[in-house]
Amino acid sequence: MIDIKIIREKPDVVKENIRKKFQDDKLPLVDEIINLDEEVRKVKARGDELRSIRNKTSALIGQLISEGNEAEAMNVKKEVSKYGKEIDELSKKEAHLNEEIKKRMMVIPNIIDASVPIGEDDTKNVENEKFGEPMVPDFEVPFHADICERLNGLDKKSAGRTSGNGFYYLMGDVARLHSAMLSYARDFMIDKGFTYVVPPFMIRSDVVNGVMSFSEMEDMMYKIEGEDLYLIGTSEHSMIGKFKDQIIKEDELPITLTSYSPCFRKEVGAHGIEERGLYRVHQFEKEEMIVLCKPEDGMKWYDKMWKYTVEFFRSLDIPVRTLECCSGDLADLKVKSCDVEAWSPRQKKYFEVGSCSILGDAQARRLGIRMKTDHGNEYVTTLNNTVLATPRGLIAFLENNVNEDGSVNIPVALRPYMGGIEKITPKK
């Protein structure tokens, strides 16, 4: 949610930003907000005027009573009661108008950074940089589910019986590898100075509305029936929610946290849930990083954060690239975002394994997260980035480290988490 001052003072900027995001249906909302804002200020001014008159009149009543002029005091009281009724009506009207403004403000997209490429959808995203040489081995790289099955590491058939499509059992060395990657990601971020956190895996609706748009929530989140709780789709949600309605001392910033969580997503949309593989599933695990900082430090942290993810994947012998998200592919709260994509030697192309975003003060404004400065309380800037989301990260690892005989190499960085072994071999 942007500052309403921007709409008051620079409505053309807001409208141009909406056009850049190809959301022209939202253009009328800007003028509606301006008109509602003017009306609410008039109502508030009238209410303040009446309260001032009432306060002065109440003082007069006390004076009349002290002078023994009770009859006149009663007449004045009747007049004051009229003010009270009108003030109550104005207060209700002000609250209603503010709610109408908020409803519209919640769907106005954040002002994107000037560096964001303009495009309608993810087909217009722009490659930034490649890291590592994307290699295709002399042998045919198997489908990742086949690699796992040769290692006796995947059972989707049983998961279908217990939970339905989009779920899975990981077993043996593959399950251990999955957990090893997450443990390594945790320690990797701790070594970068981030504080490790295990957050709540369910959050209330007011936190959900604070960290994402309503349309995203409907497509992503699982709601707990009969309770005001949602299963998290990423730990960023509960991590940012941790600071809801808090005022942080300026010298405590930046706050840098890394968190582990299981994640749950409906995955509603055109892509669908995979029958055999693990690329798009309802349940996965994730190591995330979030930063709360001063606005002027936001872009510096943005560049640091996506580089950490690149460094992590390169330490596992996985070539990656960064892809700048275009305006139409940015969620409404985001100022700027880039995807980190891993090389798939089987498909001979890159696929997404993580995303880094800066959101300005959009989440902070919705959740009331401020910093105390010498000039008063100001909203902080929030950022989030994926260190590792797996089994998607596991897919990238298996494809880039599998050998022709079906064995999988364990890079040096991961060996301490795998009992020191250098290779896992097929069971059949």
**Using one digit for the tens of pLDDT, what is the confidence trace for 39-56?**
999 999 998 888 887 777
User: Where exactly are the structural domains of the chain?
Assistant: 4-105, 122-424
CA nearest neighbour of 398 among 137, 129, 186, 156: 137
Considering the domain delimited by 122-424, tell me its CATH architecture: 2-Layer Sandwich (3.30)
pLDDT at 219: 74
Q: Which helix (H) or strand (E) holds 222?
A: strand 222-223
Q: How far is CA 227 from CA 112, 213, 230, in A?
A: 35, 20, 8
pLDDT of residue 270: 44
State how beta strands 247-249 and 255-264 pair.
unpaired
pLDDT tens-digit readout, 308-365: 999 999 999 999 999 999 999 999 999 999 999 999 999 999 999 999 999 999 999 9
Contact 151, 173 (CB under 8 A): yes
pLDDT tens sequence across 393-418:
999 999 999 999 999 999 999 999 99
Sign of the CA dihedral 125, 131, 137, 141?
Answer: negative
* Average pLDDT, integer, range 257-271: 82
Amino acid at 80: V
> Do 47 and 87 form a contact (C-beta atoms < 8 A)?
yes
Burial class (CB in 10 A: 0-12, 13-18, 19+), 385: buried
Above pLDDT 90, what percent of the chain? 81
pLDDT of residue 228: 94
Taking all residues of the chain, what is their mean pLDDT, rounded to a whole number? 92
**Which distant-in-sequence residues (6+ apart) come within 8 Å of 106 by Cβ?**
1, 209, 213, 214, 366
pLDDT surpasses 80 at 214:
no
- Dist CA 88 CA 413 (whole Å): 67
Q: Class for domain 4-105, per CATH?
A: mainly alpha
pLDDT of res. 246 = 97
Summarised one tens digit per residue, pLDDT across range 12-48 is: 999 999 999 999 999 999 999 999 999 999 999 998 8
Q: Residue 143 pLDDT more than 60?
A: yes
DSSP H helical segments within 281-378, as ranges?
A: 298-314, 362-367
